[in-house]
Amino acid sequence: MLDMVRDRLNRPLRDLRISLTDRCNFRCVYCMPKEVFGRPTHFLPAGEAMGREEIAKLVRALSALGVHNNGVRLIIVRP
């Protein structure tokens, strides 16, 4: 088994949230900090978001690194 994925504070990452859209209007500092994304925020061009197969492949890969399958959440945030 591969080493478990860890965050910057060396804590194991067991849960995963995958946003199914980048069209959130909140622009919160948690997901889209201004220092990283700038203003105005630019969205992905149509067709560049991950599809079902890519998401499934990502979840399988991260499961091998210690992310729990029951800790995976697919989210859509669009106020």
Range of the structural domain that residue 47 is part of: 16-75
Average pLDDT over residues 28-48: 74
Q: What is the pLDDT of residue 77?
A: 64
| C-alpha dihedral (39, 42, 43, 48), degrees to nearest 10 | -140
Average pLDDT over residues 34-42: 72
Going along the chain, which residue ranges are E strands?
16-19, 72-75
Q: Is residue 44 part of a domain?
A: yes
Domains identified in the chain, total number = 1
Q: What is the mean pLDDT of the chain?
A: 79
Q: Report pTM.
A: 0.64
Residue 69 lies in a domain: yes
67 is a domain residue:
yes
Has residue 3 been placed in a domain? Answer: no
Distance in angstroms (rounded) separating the CA atoms of residues 20 and 17: 10
Q: Which residue has the higher pLDDT, 31 or 72?
A: 72
Rg (CA), the chain: 14
pLDDT digits (tens, 9 = 90+) for 49-64: 888 899 899 888 888 8
Residue 11 lies in a domain: no
